[in-house]
Structure 1
Amino acid sequence: MSQDVLGNAVSTDDSRALKGINAFILGYLGYDLKLVDILGVADQSDDCLANTYAGLLWMLSETGDIPAEALRYRDRARASFDRALPREKLLFSVLEASIAEDPDRIIALTDTILTEWPRDLVTLKLRQYHDFIRGRFTDMLAIALKSEDAAGDIAALHGMLAFGFEQCHDLAAAERSARRALEMAPSEPWAQHALAHVFLTQGRIEEGIAFLEDRSVGWEHLTSFMYTHLWWHLALFYLAQGRVVDALDIYDQHCWGRERSFSQDQIGAVSLLVRLELAGADVGQRWDDLAEWLAPRQEDVSQPFLSLQYLYGLLKARRPEGVHLLQRIENLSDKNLPDQQAWTLVGIPLARGLKAYLDHDPITAQRYFEAALPHLQDIGGSHAQRDLFMQIHKDIVRQLVNLSP
């Protein structure tokens, strides 16, 4: 019986399929572009695990719907399900639960897998993703801690621990875990990312700039999200120093120049443009350019954290798709969605508040923001990302003060 690169048993005896599986594992954990190689491998293999990984990769693409390719790989994986090992069968069930948009089922399945196979760090990473987008940061940390004894020799595990600690406000533990990961693998991107969060939260601006500038030479091979997001963090440090021109240059050269159709690149661009404008930058026609890529998102209400930023960009550019997206969000009232609480308490009122803010109506905007902000964690996203809404709120308060007689 073969093993993957992490020591987990796999059913395939096809060397090409195993090579593709290992490339996906290392690529997914390390945000390396080689993770997409699994698609070509799956197309040439009937292996259940290879096709399951290919389907999961499509489900992580955040297209706002169920990608047809995910269904195709699911069907290919199902055809060889009987030959799969127990862990592989559970992973196939995770794919099915993802397609069925059943987050509770995903959590239960990943718990089962990680209890039996704690070195399955792909499952751990996938589980942390689902905890993260639902704002369940203590769960995100707890599940990683359960794999520490079994997978403590793997740098990526310490990167995942570091970000979990940071999101749970244990900055000292976050820094220790991040530095341990970087001692083991200096290029480990998630550990770099977690350490950037620590530096920003603690106001260690110069240290953060020096760290990220030094590491940036090694980012070219990273996936679009990780590449643009690390540059985004460096831009935040520049803005903290008032270096608006340098931050704008990062937007042009790095944050909005890689994969413009990907959700995380799009919201990173929205978020940075808002911050640049609040810092006094003239962004010119950049909103219009960005909105061209946001327009296809007018139906996308898959995640409130994402949809709110699509909405801001479209409304800012005065695109009709923004009006349509706002109506889609409004129509989510009183539904029975898996994330209904996040929409009810945060997504819908914040959408209304953003519309009022962009319509220069700070009184109405303040009412909606005050209702939503106490529950902001429910929509997921990191502290640094959610701070976007806090900065907008500060501007709303400033406008209200200026209205006072």
Structure 2
Amino acid sequence: MFDDRGLELSSENETAVTAFNQAIRSFLEYRTTAMPLAKQAAESDPQFSLAHCLRGYFFMVFGTFLVLDKARAALREAQLTSEKATSRERKHVEALRLWIEGDLMAANACWESILFDHPHDLLALRLHHFNSFWMGQTRALRSVPASVLADWRKDMPGYGNVLGMLAFGFEENGDYGSAERYGREAAEVCPDDLWALHAVAHVLEMQGRHGDGLKWLSHPLDKWNDRNPFRRHLWWHKALFHIDAGRLDGALELYDAAVTGGKSDFYLDIQNAASLLARLEFCGVDVGPRWEALADYAENHIDDHALVFTDIHCVMSLAHEGRFDAAKRLIESMKTYSSDEMKYASRVIRTLGVPLCESIVAFEQGRYDDAVNGILPLRHATGPVGASHAQRDIFDQYLLEAALRANKVSLAQSILQERMLLKPGTHEAEYKQARLLQGALTAS
């Protein structure tokens, strides 16, 4: 039998193959049905190796060590049933093994090798894209979707998803015109693809087009209630547009209504929440006790280092709430985890993750000179911690805020001139420019 794009599958069970195809479609559309459908595919045909592998992939996408044992169990089932699998399916199983072991470069190479022979393998393309994003492999975000697009027909299931990935790749590489063109086409072809909507939102954010951004995301808050927590990241983007437009109350209201995951411990919810609260406070907003729940989460995940970017946001919450002993324990745990040289993340944690975390602790302890001295040498090199340019902008915001509080006028002015040139007319830069001028007048 075959998948929706004509790729051969080792299963001969129609129910299993149907569930498998539906699972991939749900995964690409961020639907909560993806995991149940993958489980149904594996249970309908226990010898379907790729279905077990798909379950393992989905556990890994959760971005937490809490489900690592479940991913390993799925891998064992995939390996035990791989004898009758196709060579393509066996490569997927190998990629899962490498991912679980933390060898992300090798896993990405495995998915890319699949695409050389099977450019319609949308699963391999999306997982390569996912891991490239969290590794800071910016060029790969554009080059790999671009390498397969010519092999796709517009009427093929998933064509819009390929366009959406290509659009995001163009955006992260600074080609905003191409990114917006492909992103809007992707959203027309596949309106259920949140990644395409997300790609265009990034273009509008990077260009400072907050009015267009608010229109682009002018959906009712229940629009994507059938989707997984990624939907809250889109509302995070809308909150950034509110901040840029000077609608700070609107951003805080959106935080409470749609951005925060409540008791959610999904990694993206933690990142979104901590980052947005910091941005609001740097614009003079009193966010009240909202940090406390994030710090509680962080204290319960001291040893969960699935994503360096999440670790940094956990330290933000702990340090903000004055839980410096817990922040120190988390940083020490990061150092211990990074001692395993076989893991891709080890060097990233040591050279970027730990110094950034220590700088944020210094900031919250009022040691603003130390915060500046820690972040400034890294500000142009933070890509490997993962995430997007817009998300990593939080490090520049900490640096700017530390410079303002330390009365480092020339540094603050330099950063502000950059921000005002690249995103003119945004409230955040104008507010901080006014603070800088006021500080200079007071000092004189």
TM-score by length of 2: 0.86
Q: CA RMSD in A?
A: 2.0
Specify every segment of 5 or more residues in structure 2 that has no aligned partner in the other structure, as ranges: 408-438
For the Cα contact (< 8 Å) 2:161–2:193, is it kept in 1? yes
Task: Identify the residue that residue 239 of structure 1 maps to in structure 2.
Answer: 243
Q: Tell me how far 1:72 sits from its aligned partner.
A: 1.4
Q: Deviations over 1:178-216 (max 9, x none)?
A: 011122123321111010011111111111101101476
**Residues 66, 257 of structure 1: alpha-carbon distance in 2 compared, 3 angstrom cutoff:** closer
Quickly say closer, same or farther: Cα 1:152–1:233, change in 2 above 3 A. Answer: farther
Equivalent residue, structure 2, for 1:270: 274
1:347-366 correspondence runs (5 A):
347-366=353-372
DSSP-derived class of the 1:3 partner: coil
2:98–2:104 Cα contact (<8 Å) kept: yes
Distance, in Å, in 2 between the alignment partners of 1:227 and 1:147 is 27
- Structure-2 separation of matches of 1:42 and 1:335: 33
Match of 1:135 in 2: 136
On the 8 A contact 2:303/2:334 being kept in 1, the answer is: no
The 2-side partners of 1:15 and 1:317 are apart by 54
Residue in 1 that maps onto 2:146? 145
Q: Larger relative contact order (C-alpha < 8 A, sep ≥ 6)?
A: 2
Q: Look up the SS of the partner of 1:7 in the other structure.
A: coil
CA distance in 1, matches of 2:59, 2:339: 30
**Equivalent residue number for residue 304 of structure 1:** 308
SS in structure 1 of the partner of residue 65 of structure 2? coil
Q: State whether structure 2 residue 159 is matched by structure 1 residue 160.
A: no
* Residue correspondence of structure 1 range 88-127 to structure 2 within 5 A: 88-127=89-128
SS at match of 1:261: coil
Which deviates further from its counterpart, 256-265 or 170-179? 256-265
* Alpha carbons of structure 1 residues 274 and 77: separation in structure 2 relative to 1, 3 Å: same
3-state DSSP class of the match of 1:9? coil
User: 2:85 is matched with which residue?
Assistant: 84
Task: Write the distance in 1 (CA, Å) between the matches of 2:65 and 2:16.
Answer: 29
**Larger mean Cα displacement after TM superposition, 243-252 or 359-368:** 243-252
Distance 1:388 1:254 in 2: 20
5 Å-filtered alignment, 1:193-232, equals: 193-214=198-219, 218-224=223-229, 226-232=230-236
In the TM superposition, what is the alpha-carbon distance from 1:333 to its structure 2 partner?
7.3
- Post-superposition Cα deviations, 1:90-141, rounded to whole Å, max 9, x if no partner, equal 1111111112211122122112100011111111110111211111111221
Contact 2:221 2:258 in 1 (8 A): no
CA 215–140 in structure 1, closer or farther in 2 if over 3 Å, else same = farther
Q: Which runs of 4+ in 1 moved over 4 A?
A: 330-335, 402-405
Partner of residue 399, structure 2: 393
Which of 340-349 and 94-103 deviates more? 340-349
CA separation in 1, counterparts of 2:82 and 2:177?
44
Q: How far does residue 382 in structure 1 lie from its aligned partner after superposition?
A: 0.2
In 2: Cα distance, 1:286 partner to 1:217 partner: 23
What is the identity, as a one-letter code, of the residue corresponding to 1:6? Answer: R
**1: distance between equivalents of 2:153 and 2:290?**
44
Q: For the residues of structure 2 that align with 1:206 and 1:194, how far apart are their CA atoms?
A: 16
Shift of the alpha carbon at 1:265? 1.1
1:327 is aligned to 2:326: no
What's the CA shift string for 1:263-290, capped at 9, x where partnerless? Answer: 1111111111111211222211111122
State the alpha-carbon separation in 2 of the partners of residues 51 and 8 from structure 1.
Answer: 17
Distance 1:212 1:230 in 2: 8
Counterpart-to-counterpart distance in 1, 2:318 and 2:80: 43
User: Is 1:184 aligned to 2:183, yes or no?
Assistant: no
Q: Secondary structure at the match of 2:226?
A: coil
Aligned CA distance change for structure 1 residues 51 and 334 (closer, same or farther; 3 Å): closer
Separation of aligned partners in 1, 2:262 and 2:29? 18
**Percent identity over the alignment?**
28
What is the match of residue 42 of structure 2? Answer: 42
Cα distance in 2 for residues equivalent to 1:126 and 1:157: 12
2:234 counterpart letter in structure 1: L
User: Are 1:380 and 2:386 an aligned pair?
Assistant: yes
SS in 2 for 1:33: coil
Task: State which of 370, 376, 388 in structure 2 corresponds to 1:370.
Answer: 376
Please give the secondary structure, in 2, of the residue aligned with 1:381.
coil
Secondary structure of 2:382's match? helix
Matched, 1:174 2:179: yes
Segment of structure 1 superposing worse, 91-100 or 335-344: 335-344
Cα distance in 1 between the residues matched to 2:175 and 2:248: 30
Inter-CA distance 94–258: structure 2 relative to 1 (3 Å threshold): farther
Which aligned pairs between 1:242-253 and structure 2 lie closer than 5 A? 242-253=246-257
Identify the range of structure 1 (232-241 vs 372-381) with the bigger mean alpha-carbon deviation.
372-381
Change (3 A) 1:230 1:24: same
Q: Per-residue deviation at 1:301?
A: 2.9
- The letter of the residue matching 1:85 is T
**Residue equivalent to 1:51:** 52
Deviation of residue 321 (structure 1)? 2.7
Alpha-carbon distance in structure 1 between the residues aligned to 2:389 and 2:107: 24
Confirm or deny that 1:313 pairs with 2:300: no
Once the 2 structures are TM-superposed, how far is the Cα of residue 25 of structure 1 from its aligned partner? 1.0
Count of equivalent residues:
403
1:29 touches 1:121 (CA, 8 Å); kept in 2?
no
Q: Structure 2: how far apart are the matches of 1:77 and 1:378?
A: 31
- Structure 1 residues 180 and 333, CA, compared in 2 at 3 Å: closer, same or farther? closer
Contact 1:346 1:373 in 2 (8 A): no
Q: Is the 8 A contact 2:270 2:310 kept in 1?
A: no
Residues in 2 aligned to 1:245 and 1:152: alpha-carbon distance in whole angstroms: 46
Q: Match of 2:26?
A: 27
Shift of 1:332: 6.3
How far apart are residue 303 of structure 1 and its match? Answer: 2.9
Q: Cα distance, 1:45 vs. partner?
A: 3.2
Q: Shift in Å at residue 297 of structure 1?
A: 1.7
Alpha-carbon distance in structure 2 between the residues aligned to 1:152 and 1:247: 41
The 1:6/1:182 distance shift into structure 2, 3 A limit, reads same
Q: Secondary structure at the match of 1:151?
A: coil
